[in-house]
Chain A
Amino acid sequence: MLKNVHFGPSVLPFLLVAPQIIVTIIFFIWPAGQALYQSLLIQDAFGLKTEFVWLENFGILFSEEQYRNSFGRTVVFSSLVAILSMSFALILAVLADRVIKGAGTYRTFLIWPYAVAPVTAGALWVFMFDPTLGIVTYGLSAMGYDWNHKLNGGEAMALVVMAAAWKQVAYNFLFFLAGLQSIPKSLIEAAAIDGAGPVRRFRDIIFPLLSPTTFFLLVINIVYAFFDTFGIVHVMTAGGPAGATNILVYKVFSDGFVGLDLGGSAAQSVILMIIVIGLTVVQFKYVEKKVAY
C-alpha cells in the first residue's frame, strides 16, 4: 500500500520562499520591466524630455551597421570561449581522472582559477600582454612578433577570448570530472576487454555518457560568454580598438552609460535577453533529444 503524505494548508512555505522572491523581484523583475519600458522611449540623459516611440529604437538598432557587426562579433566570441573552455576542461578532466598520486593537488590547482573574479582575471591577462610592459609581449618580440592589442583588433579579440576561457576552464573541469567519475568502471573495463583502445573507448562510451554534463555546460558557457564577460572586456580593452571587442553586453554599457542613450541601450538589453532565452529554449528542445540520460 502506498502511503500518501499530506501536508496541511500552511503559510510556512510561502514565508520561507518569500525572501528569495523579494530579491528576484527587486533585482531582476523590476529592472527588467524598467528596461522594457525605457526601450520604448527616446529621452535625453536627465530624463527631462521623454518621447514615446514604440519600437523605433529597435528599428534604429537593426539599421546600424555597428550593431549588426556587434552581433557577429558576439557570436564569434561566444563560440570561441565555449569551445575552447570546454575542450580544455574535458582534456584536463580526462587526464586528472587517471591520476592517482597527488590527485588532490592537481584538482585543487585546476579549480582555483574559478575563484578569481572576472575583473581580476582580465587585469592579470592584460598586464601580461601589455604592449610596453608585458612579459608575454617581451617573449613574443624575442621571437620576432610585435604584439599590440591596442591597435590590432584580432589580437584584442584573442586576448579577451583567452582570459574569458581561462576562467571557465576551472568550472567546466569540475563538472566534467564529476561526470567522468559517475561512469561505471565496469563499462570501460568491458570495452577494454573487447579490444577497444583509449580513443575508441572515449568516443563511443565516455563521451556519450558525458552528454548530460556537456549539454548543461554548453548552456552555462553560452550564458556566461554573453553576460558575465562584461567585466573582462571593460578592464582589458573597453570595447577594443575600433570596436573589435565591442560585444553586445559591452555595447549596452557603453551606449547607455557613456553615451547616455538610455532608450537605445535598453532596447539592446531587451534584445540580448530575448536571444539568450531563445538559445536556451532551442537547446532544451532540440539538443536535449540527443542527450542520453
Chain B
Amino acid sequence: MSIFKKLFVPAVLAAVASSTGLASAATEVQWWHAMGGTNGERVNKIAADFNATQSEYKVVPTFKGNYTETMTAAIAAFRAKKQPHIVQVFEVGTATMMAAKGAVYPVEQMMKDAGEPFDKSQYLPAVISYYQTSGGELLSMPFNSSTPVLWYNADAFKKAGVASVPKTWPEMKTASEKLVAAGYKCGFSFGWQSWVMVENFSAWHNLPMGTEENGFKGTNTIFEFDNDIVKTHMANLQDWSKNKLFVYGGRRGDSLSMFTNGECGMWMNSSAYYGSIKKQAKFEFGQSMLPFYPNVIKSPQNSIIGGATLWVLKGKKADEYKGVAQFMNYLSSPEVQAWWHQETGYVPITTPAYELSKKQGFYKSNPGTDTAIKQLSLNTPTPNSRGIRFGNFVQIRDVINEEMEAIWSGDKTGAAGMDEAAKRGDVLLRKFERANGS
C-alpha cells in the first residue's frame, strides 16, 4: 500500500467516526428568519443563549434574505418536504399562512399539544389581535412588531423655528414650510408607504380599508380605501411634493438616509429604525406619534403593527415541537423581550416585558422610546384598527406602491391613483379567494 493510502483511509474513518459521535447530541430546531445585519447578530445571540440554558434542543437560526425571500423559501421548502420548524413571516403574509391549514401549526395549539405552559393574557392585545382567529386562537408568535412613528430632527426644528412637534397634518404642513424656508432640502419623507400612509392612516383615523372587518371575517372582502379622505390625503401629499414639503425616497427604508444626513427634517417609518438612526444621525432626534386630520377624527384611534411573527410549520416529529414550544416561552420571557425591545425599537410583546423596561428606567433615560407602544395601545382596537388580513397582500402592496409612485411623479391624481389601486387590488383578492377555495 502506498503512503497515501496508508494515511488517507484512517483519516477518513476518523472523520466519519467523530462526526457521527457529535450528531446524536441535541435535537435541532430549524429557524429561518429575515433579520440581516445587527438584528441578525441579535437573533443569533438569542438562539445561543437559549441553547446554553438546556442541552436537549438546539435552535439553529438561518438568515434567508428579506421577508419576501424568506417566505418564498419556506413555501418552496414545504413543497419539497424540507421545511424548517419555525419561519419568520411578515404581517402581509398572514392571510397566505392562515389559509394553509395543512401546512401551518397554530402556535396556541402547538403549545397545548406539547404540554408547555402558555398564558395568552400576558401578551399585549394590540400585538396579538392581528394574529388571532375570529375565535381568539393565536396562530403565530409575535416576535418583532413595530408601528410607524414620526421621527424628527430636533436640531432642525430649533434652526427653523418649529416650536413644537406637529400633531396634526396642518401642523405638518406649516412645520415643513418652515424647514424648507430655513434651507432644508425637504420637510418630510416616509417609507413603507402602503403600510404608513394607507394601512396605518386608515386605522389611525378609524377608517375601514376593506369590507368584512378588513378581511378578518372572510376572503370575500372588497377594498374600501378608495374613499374621499384617503384620496384627499394623497392629493395633499402630491401638492406638497411640488414645493419639496414632501419628497419621496423609495418604497421601503431607502429614504432613511434622507433623514439621517439632515436633508429632511421629519420622517415617518417604523419605530424599529431606532437603532439605525441612533447610529447614523449626528443630530438630536426624537420620535412622536403620527399626525392626524382633526377634521376627520377628534383624536386618533390606534395604529397597527408591522414587522413579523414566528409561524410553526407542520410535518415534524412531536418531540421536536416540544423544543419549539420551550423556545417560544424563552422568547416571550420578560428579560429576553425587554432586551430585544430596548436594543431594536421593536415593541415588547408582553406586559411583564413592558413593566420591566419601565422599572429599569429605560423610558426615562431614552425619552420617546415608548411612543410605539403607546400608539398601539391608545384605544381598544375597533374592527377598522385591529389590523388587516388580505390575501395576496405582498402583490397588493406592490400595486399600491406603483399607484402611489404614479401620484408622486404627477402621472395621476390622488383620486385616480387610489381608484386604480383598489380596482387592481380587488382582482388579486378574488384570485386569492379562488385559489384558496373559500
Contact = CB atoms under 8 A, between A and B. Distances in A.
Given A48-B100, A49-B436, A241-B402, A152 B409 contact: yes
A242 B60 CA distance: 39
Nearest to A132: B257
Given A151-B408, A241-B409, A44 B99 contact: yes
Interface string B401-438: 01101101101000000000000100110010011110
A54 interface: no
A42 interface: yes
B435 A49 contact: yes
A29 B240 CA distance: 55
Nearest to B69: A257
B406 A46 contact: no
Contacts of A46: 75, 78-79, 100, 102-103
B409 A259 contact: no
A258 B68 contact: yes
A260 B75 contact: yes
Interface stretch (B40-48, B291-299, B392-400): B392-400
Nearest to A41: B435
Interface residues of A, number: 28
Contacts of B72: 257-258, 260
A117 interface: no
B411 A44 contact: no
Contact of B406 (A45, A47, A242): A242
Contact of B394 (A47, A132, A258, A264): A258
B250 interface: yes
Nearest to A65: B424
Contact of A43 (B101, B427, B428, B435): B435
Interface in B69-115: 72, 75, 78-79, 96, 99-103
Contacts of A44: 96, 99-100, 435-437
B204 interface: no
Contact of B392 (A49, A132, A261): A261
A243 interface: yes
Given A132-B257, A241-B409, A242-B406, A48 B435 contact: no
A122 to B, nearest CB: 17
Contacts of A66: 424
Contacts of A264: 431
A51 B436 CA distance: 10
A150 interface: yes
Contacts of B78: 46-47
Contacts of A243: 402
Interface of B: 68, 72, 75, 78-79, 96, 99-103, 248, 250, 257-258, 392, 394-395, 398, 402-403, 405-406, 408-409, 411, 424, 427-428, 431, 434-437
List 7 A-B pairs, minimum CB-CB distance, nearest first.
A259-B395, A46-B100, A242-B402, A48-B102, A46-B103, A151-B409, A44-B435
